[in-house]
Structure 1
């Protein structure tokens, strides 16, 4: 946490941490243990004091004070940053709030998750979900503080800023203003209709509008709009890489942190063409009895949200060749058409592949060599063009293939390298090569 917050504040210049330069392989290992049992987090007091009301372009916002690590933090939950994307706004770019809410916005309680294909008892999910959270140090200081803007993960199909693990109050105790944003997921965020009112990638447009809202309003919460760091994990990290590539995001942030994910894996097959995206959308329309109508897209807008969510792919792939993402990462770096005027920190974890094994191996506790081979072939169906024999030989070198545990470790390494480690490192490396030491670039691997 120290390295992320220091980077957000200063760009992190440390003699012990060499930058990822265009001619050197500099990956800093992080092995220091954590002791979460000795950390006292948010005090669970239902009678928190409200903090001062804050004027924003959305309206007057009322939050509350929470005590974290013996410090007071102003917490604002569920501030709307866009018009609810309902009815004809389903699949469309988010619309900014033109007229402030007349009543005080209650930001003391969590709001809706965005619609997603999971069934969690008590989960409040809705298309009316375009809100953000803010945590800022309770302080009378007039000095504006650096801002960290969080994008959650979940394969672009799952997740919410109201998950407990995304509570930003602890980070705010480091004298920073923390923001997290909901964005549309699955078909609601990425269905492509080849029309202005269904341009695809609207989940990214949600993030973009939230970032613009922060740029315009964060000074009211004590944040410095010229010191914004965007950061995210997994699909959130992929989103950060997309904002680095998108011409629409230029100038909205100063630094970026990518945690385990980037657009560059699978030989650019982590995106779909407009033709493929349109074909997939029309196939969904057919399955939902909308294909025979003159306006199949309007028909899809009337489908029950929970029913439509069942057709969300996991993972969901963004659309390439669009206004937001005009060219691939490879081409962007080759032609220098990306947002190069930022500092970048990127990193990975040791056992990235462990969470994906069950998707390819039925019984990981009794894994056999045949299971490994079958799993590699399954990976080839996703990561096209794998030389299955060479890959197997490489990852099974010096592995006792009669031991299920060792086979599992080997397959975990393979999946982690393919899905997260290699693309994240490759993106950071190509960024470093392209900026030619003009900006700071760091890379780490967490071994704990």
Structure 2
């Protein structure tokens, strides 16, 4: 698909100056920027914590000509889907493919800003990486394509019932990446007010989580869910805080933590490969938290679906989402134009 790398291109961002390349895709020139850091490395005391934005731009030029590290994970077990060769906890990076950039000298009139497609990879929230996908072909269709890494399995979803281990860290990673895009995408020719988030499988679960989360309100305009949603299993797709806390403590004990030790600190000091070895094929988000105050079912039960812009089943055949019972013939939305529903105003504190 992609070949013929041409001249280097520098773009100034809040992370620092990134240097990408011009490549040719389908006989079209596309600007490619790979492995751009959007957060501080989530290591040491930041393991299991919310991602921290990069407060001060990095010095020098950031090499954005190659993919960054993949997040810690096991092999997927699926034929043809191997894990990234370079795995690290320092993995919070994003990639951008765009038809044009705006903060360079232009010999002609500056092109109009383009719609942005924000891709979230799948993998059961336990494996996968943004480097599995190339966004060049989509960029030839006059859109800006962004893909991201986010923490997985225990690194991304362990719950400690503490501010420094809130659970759903992987979703917070996605949230911070989305905020980074809104702040910087204009420099890559993208329109911050025309962002569509989309994903496949667990990436689609993630999209539905952002539709449900009060923290993501106003950060995107449209959503596409491909083969997965928090509502797919109406009886059980998330776990409660008490269940998640029990799982975390059992993990620590299984790895050798004594009753007298701080179990969370113990897990922060464990070799990351030991945590990877305990990874389950699929990881479940935690509800009753700041990011997800309600379970997906409860959120929709207290919300009038008639206030949402629904899309016919025929138009969203790829969504793979089961209809919600008692919707009076209305199909569940797989593209959402109005995300201002009442449940987005509910805080986790109000649930106790």
TM-score tier, shorter chain, comes to 0.7 to 0.9
Structure-1 separation of matches of 2:265 and 2:293 = 26
Q: Which residue of 1 aligns with 2:45?
A: 88
Q: Which residue of 1 aligns with 2:99?
A: 137
Question: Deviation of residue 122 (structure 1)?
Answer: 7.2
The answer as to whether partners of 1:234 and 1:261 remain within 8 angstroms in 2 is yes
Q: Which residue of 1 aligns with 2:7?
A: 49
Q: Which residue of 2 aligns with 1:125?
A: 87
Structure-1 separation of matches of 2:329 and 2:285 = 21
Q: Which residue of 2 aligns with 1:250?
A: 217
Structure-2 separation of matches of 1:281 and 1:430 = 41
Structure-2 separation of matches of 1:332 and 1:300 = 33
Whether 1:159 aligns to 2:128 is: yes
The answer as to whether partners of 1:256 and 1:344 remain within 8 angstroms in 2 is no
Per-residue CA deviation, residues 136-156 of structure 1 (Å, 9 max, x unaligned), is: 003753311100000000000
Whether 1:327 aligns to 2:287 is: no
Question: Deviation of residue 439 (structure 1)?
Answer: 4.6
Structure-1 separation of matches of 2:328 and 2:209 = 14
* Larger RCO (CA under 8 A, 6+ residues apart): 1
Per-residue CA deviation, residues 37-88 of structure 1 (Å, 9 max, x unaligned), is: xxxx212x4x53212x111110011100010011000000000000000001
> What does 1:245-394 correspond to in 2, within 5 Å?
245-336=212-303, 347-348=316-317
Q: Which residue of 2 aligns with 1:97?
A: 54
Report the RMSD for the aligned CA atoms in angstroms.
2.7
The answer as to whether partners of 2:229 and 2:321 remain within 8 angstroms in 1 is no
Q: Which residue of 2 aligns with 1:192?
A: 159
The answer as to whether partners of 2:94 and 2:149 remain within 8 angstroms in 1 is yes
Greater fraction of residues in helix? 1
Structure-1 separation of matches of 2:168 and 2:186 = 29
The answer as to whether partners of 2:92 and 2:151 remain within 8 angstroms in 1 is yes
Structure-2 separation of matches of 1:92 and 1:330 = 27
Tell me the secondary structure at the aligned position of residue 226 of structure 1: strand
Structure-2 separation of matches of 1:343 and 1:229 = 16
The answer as to whether partners of 1:155 and 1:235 remain within 8 angstroms in 2 is yes
Tell me the secondary structure at the aligned position of residue 234 of structure 2: helix
Q: Which residue of 1 aligns with 2:347?
A: none
Question: Deviation of residue 342 (structure 1)?
Answer: 7.5
Question: Deviation of residue 294 (structure 1)?
Answer: 2.9
Judged with a 3 Å threshold, the aligned counterparts in structure 2 of structure 1 residues 64 and 154 are, in CA distance, closer, same or farther, namely same
Q: Which residue of 1 aligns with 2:192?
A: 225
Q: Which residue of 1 aligns with 2:116?
A: 147
Match of 2:171 among 186, 200, 204: 204
The answer as to whether partners of 2:100 and 2:189 remain within 8 angstroms in 1 is no
Question: Deviation of residue 343 (structure 1)?
Answer: 8.0
The answer as to whether partners of 1:245 and 1:337 remain within 8 angstroms in 2 is no
Whether 1:421 aligns to 2:320 is: yes
Whether 1:115 aligns to 2:72 is: yes
Q: Which residue of 1 aligns with 2:343?
A: none
Larger radius of gyration: 1
The answer as to whether partners of 2:157 and 2:283 remain within 8 angstroms in 1 is yes
Tell me the secondary structure at the aligned position of residue 94 of structure 1: coil
Judged with a 3 Å threshold, the aligned counterparts in structure 2 of structure 1 residues 73 and 344 are, in CA distance, closer, same or farther, namely farther
Report the TM-score when normalising by structure 2: 0.85
Structure-2 separation of matches of 1:42 and 1:236 = 24
The answer as to whether partners of 1:271 and 1:318 remain within 8 angstroms in 2 is yes
Q: Which residue of 2 aligns with 1:363?
A: none
Tell me the secondary structure at the aligned position of residue 131 of structure 2: coil
Structure-1 separation of matches of 2:217 and 2:237 = 23
Q: Can you give the 5+ residue segments of structure 2 that lack an aligned partner in the other structure?
A: 77-81, 340-352
